[in-house]
Amino acid sequence: MALFRKFEKKNIYKFGIGGGILEIIYILLIALLMNYLNEITIMINQVVGALSMLLLFVFSAAVSGFLVLGYPAYLALTKKIKEAILTVLTTILTLFVAGVIIFLLAIFNVI
């Protein structure tokens, strides 16, 4: 847990928003990767394609779990339950706001 020790005194809101922003960046990178792979693949064996997608899904779930729940889990293990819940809620709120903004931009054909 030495990874989180230096962040312990920082503002919980900043950590929650930071986790949300990192998650958004990660999702964007995965979307770009999937788009790129869709363009360059000619014909892949169905088994290999399905295996690749499932591996990407499991890997993404692990990375996303770490980004969203890593620091809150540390806080909960150190008996700081309120701070852990507040960090998770801040992260979820950040993801929700970003989703609404992206949705509105897509509706108005900005992106």
Structure tokens at 100: 């609404």
Cα 98–chain centre separation: 12
**56-80 pLDDT per residue, tens:** 999 999 999 999 999 999 999 999 9
Per-residue confidence (pLDDT) for residue 3, from 0 to 100? 56
| Angle CA 78–84–86, to nearest 5 | 150
**75-94 pLDDT per residue, tens:** 999 999 999 999 999 999 99
Per-residue confidence (pLDDT) for residue 33, from 0 to 100? 87
The pTM of the full predicted model, rounded to 2 decimals, is: 0.78
**Residue 41 pLDDT > 70:** no
Per-residue confidence (pLDDT) for residue 45, from 0 to 100? 75
Q: What is the rounded distance in angstroms from the CA atom of residue 80 to the CA atom of residue 70?
A: 14
Q: What is the rounded distance in angstroms from the CA atom of residue 39 to the CA atom of residue 56?
A: 17
Q: What is the rounded distance in angstroms from the CA atom of residue 94 to the CA atom of residue 27?
A: 14
